[in-house]
Amino acid sequence: MRGSLLLRVFRMASVVMLLVAVAMVSAITTMHFAIHGAEVKIPALKGMTVAEARSQAAGMGLNLDVDNRYYSSDVAAGHILSQSPAAGAVVRREWHVRVSESLGPQKVDVPETVGADARVAALRLRRAGLQVGVTAKLPWSGAEDNTVLAQDPPAHSHGIAQPSVNILVAAPDSAVPDGYVMPDLAGLPVTTAIEQLTRIGLKVDAPTYVDVSIPPVGSAGTTPAPPVAPGSVITQQPLAGARVDQNTAIKLVAAK
């Protein structure tokens, strides 16, 4: 009698354990499909038009954001240049895929804005199909407030990356500078160039001195090229027009 009772209890316990195991397997399976069913693999969007890429992304439950636009001689205007995450990455649905769009080859001429009022400069840029990028201010008593002192990229530049131009504008002497546009130092005595840069708080590495060749006299009727004065700046890094701040290391090469 007692053995029969124990057998029944054992059988009942076995059934309960089996039901628990089935429930756990069912729960794990449900969680697996719930998790992995919400995952998608990022498609390759490079080369597609923005409309095509947006349609494909939406069909997979993804969001497409155009973060930047760049000029490109290799990818046609309106097509995708790059994407993030990369193709093949596994993400959850509703993920935001960020892409950059090609503007095609650069066809606009960068206008000259130096010497113009900042508002006039912005108007010139918009008329050329460009935008004002970063506007930095520099306390400068040698020009009226809001006069453009420098720009990056310089006027008539070719092969620029983005359709925007950074400008440096004059501010009152009491203003706090928030950045600078690198001036053109070529031809200046290197000591003068370093003095000008350090006066506004920019760091300048020790200059490098190199030998320079004496230009030929030239043939009759032509004006000979002037020789390079010893101690004058030959090249600079960053180039003229680039935006710099107190954390930018400036390198100068001068003639021996």
Same domain, 123 and 193: no
Q: What percent of the chain has pLDDT over 90?
A: 42
49: closest CA among 21, 30, 77, 26?
Answer: 77
Greater model confidence, 246 or 121: 121
Return d(Cα 42, Cα 55) in angstroms, integer: 13
Which of the listed residues 53, 87, 102 is the one where a domain comes to its end? 102
Instruction: With a cut of 80, say whether residue 37 has pLDDT above it.
Output: no
195 alpha carbon, distance to own chain's centre: 31
Same domain, 97 and 63: yes
Same domain, 56 and 117: no
β-pair partners for 254? 209, 233
Same domain, 174 and 234: no
Greater model confidence, 102 or 200: 102
Domain that holds residue 151: 108-181
Return d(Cα 228, Cα 251) in angstroms, integer: 19
Instruction: With a cut of 80, say whether residue 11 has pLDDT above it.
Output: no
Same domain, 193 and 177: no
Grouping H, G, I as helix, E, B as strand and the rest as coil, residue 236 is strand
Question: Is 58 contained in some domain?
Answer: yes
Q: What is the pLDDT of residue 125?
A: 96
Mention every residue, 6+ apart, whose C-beta is less than 8 A from residue 217: 224
Question: Terminus-to-terminus CA distance in the chain, angstroms?
Answer: 113
Q: Among 39-43, 137-141, 215-219, 236-240, whose mean pLDDT is lowest?
A: 215-219
Same domain, 130 and 145: yes
Same domain, 206 and 243: yes
CB 176 within 8 A of CB 151: no
Q: For residue 142, give the CATH number of its domain.
A: 3.30.10.20
Greater model confidence, 148 or 179: 148
Same domain, 97 and 119: no
Question: Is 19 contained in some domain?
Answer: no
- Between strands 180-181 and 131-139, the pairing is unpaired
- Taking the alpha carbons of 130, 120, 183, 168 in that order, is the dihedral positive or negative? negative
Same domain, 115 and 165: yes
Number of domains the chain contains: 3
Question: Is 221 contained in some domain?
Answer: no
Burial of 53 (0-12, 13-18, 19+ CB in 10 A): buried
Once rounded to an integer, what is the mean pLDDT over residues 191-199?
86
Q: What is the pLDDT of residue 43?
A: 93
Question: Is 29 contained in some domain?
Answer: no
Name the helix (H) or strand (E) containing 109. none
Return d(Cα 174, Cα 231) in angstroms, integer: 34
CB 84 within 8 A of CB 63: no
Question: Is 237 contained in some domain?
Answer: yes
Which of the listed residues 50, 77, 102 is the one where a domain comes to its end? 102
- Taking the alpha carbons of 51, 56, 58, 64 in that order, is the dihedral positive or negative? negative
Same domain, 231 and 254: yes
Same domain, 240 and 202: yes
Return d(Cα 135, Cα 148) in angstroms, integer: 9
Question: Is 22 contained in some domain?
Answer: no
Once rounded to an integer, what is the mean pLDDT over residues 44-65?
94
Tell me the two tokens of residue 24: 């756990």
Question: Is 36 contained in some domain?
Answer: no
CB 137 within 8 A of CB 169: yes
Q: What is the mean pLDDT of the chain?
A: 82
Q: For residue 14, give the DSSP letter.
A: H
DSSP letters, 162-216, are SSEEEEEEEE-TTSPP--EE----TTSBHHHHHHHHHHTT-EEPPPEEE--PPPP
pLDDT category of residue 148 using cuts at 50, 70 and 90: very high
- Between strands 208-210 and 249-255, the pairing is parallel
Same domain, 61 and 131: no
Instruction: With a cut of 80, say whether residue 168 has pLDDT above it.
Output: yes
Q: In this predicted model, what pLDDT tens digit does every residue of 58-105 receive, in sequence order?
A: 999 999 999 889 999 899 999 999 999 899 999 998 999 999 999 999
pLDDT category of residue 33 using cuts at 50, 70 and 90: very low
